[in-house]
Structures are given as structure tokens and as C-alpha cells.
Amino acid sequence: MDHPLAASSLTVLRDERTPRSRFRPTLHDLATMLVYEATRALPTMPVTVTTPLATTAGVRPAAEAVVAPVLRAGLGMLPAALGLLPDAHTAFIGLARDETTHRPTVYLEAVPADLTGRPVLLLDPMLATGGSALHCLRLLLDRGARGITVVAVVAAPEGLAALESGLPVAAAAELTVVAAAVDERLNDTAYIVPGLGDAGDRIYGEM
């Protein structure tokens, strides 16, 4: 996403001196911009609306969206998504990162059984190896979701490549990734460089 306000919010998030008290509201602001961009093609249906002066044409979302934050860090983006999509359902996917293998361990999957025909946004600030996102995308695809949008603050080239190669061709072609930046690389502990550090720790504190 190329926008001066998004770039300036991302700079605040990257800064190691930014305290938690400023990190959270800045993430909220940036997530609002990212979700706004991610919903640019949201299907709508025509309605009529009566103003104080006349009846005219309007629109409303054609289907209730589903927002799926990846716990824990994705929760930091959830209020912004629900602010723009107040009728959305929330699907919770809990994944812990194994610090040795860097692979995700699943501890929660609370996802609507049928996602057919519903716009789905997967929220995760950091698209690093792509392992967590791939797990979530396969789950969402299994439940009938199509044309999913991944909303991230920072993406690594390795993560984007993993999504491209790790999904069925048709699903990869229908996938959209909206991120504020694509960074240089992953380091040897699978953190994004330059990145912003551990997003969950910066939002909620170290475990």
C-alpha cells in the first residue's frame, strides 16, 4: 500500500523507542487504512435511501464479511476491521510459533463452518515465513472461502513466495495480499528485517 499516512504510521511502528501506549493506537490507524484498501472490491448490492430531501440510490455490502485475526498479534488489527465492517463475523485462529522450527502450532480454530460466498479478510501484522498464513488459508479454503484477502503490516518476500507456491494454483490466483510494506528478508530466526520486531510482544508485552 502506497500512502503517506500509512508510511508514516509504519515508521512509528518500526521505531524501537515507540512505547506500547503509542504502538497500539498507531497499529489501529494503520490497520484501518489497510482494511479500507483491502475492501476496495467488496461486493455491494443496490438499495434505495431516503434523505431529508429525496429518495436516491445507494449500496450496502452484498454479504456479511468474515474477519479472521491470527492470534495473538492479529487481534491488534481486529477493532479497526470491525470498525469498518461492523456487521462482520469474527473467526479466531490461534497459532503459536515454535521458536525452534519456526512452524505454527494450532491451539484454537473457531471459524464459521460455511464461508461460501462471503468476503474473508485474514489479519496478521507479520507475513514472515508464510507458515501461519498458509495454515489459516487452507482452513478457510476448506470451509468454502474464495478470493481471500490477507491484510498484513509487513510482508517478507519469502512469505509471499510461500503463499504463491503453497496453495492450489486457482486459490493462489484468487488471493490478494494488502501490506504496508514488503521488507528485505527474514533473518536466521525467521524475523522480518528490518520489520518491527515481535508484533505480539509490542502490542501486548512479552510472554
Active-site residues, by number, are 97, 101, 198, 201
Query: Judged by CB under 6 A, does residue 198 bind ligand URA?
Result: yes
Q: Does 153 bind ligand URA (CB under 6 A)?
A: no
- In angstroms, the Cα distances linking 59 to 43, 120, 154, 192, 207 are 10, 19, 32, 40, 45
Rounded Cα–Cα distance for residues 133 and 123 (Å): 9
Among the residue ranges 2-10, 21-29, 104-112, 191-199, the one whose residues contact ligand URA (CB under 6 A): 191-199
Closer to ligand URA by Cβ: residue 2 or 206 = 206
Interface mask (CB under 6 A) for ligand URA, residues 57-76, using x and -? ----------------x---
Binding mask 72-111 for ligand URA (x = CB under 6 A): -x--------------------------------------
| 192 sits near ligand URA (criterion: CB under 6 A) | yes
Q: Is residue 191 close enough to count as binding ligand URA by CB under 6 A?
A: yes
Query: Quick check: 150 binds ligand URA (CB under 6 A)?
Result: no
Q: How many residues does the chain have?
A: 207
**Cα–Cα distance list, 186 to 34, 49, 81, 150, 158 (Å):** 22, 50, 27, 19, 7
Angle among Cα 89, 93, 97 to the nearest 5 degrees reads 155
Q: What residues between 110 and 129 interact with ligand URA by CB under 6 A?
A: 126, 128
The binding site for ligand URA (CB under 6 A) comprises: 73, 126, 128, 191-192, 195, 198-200
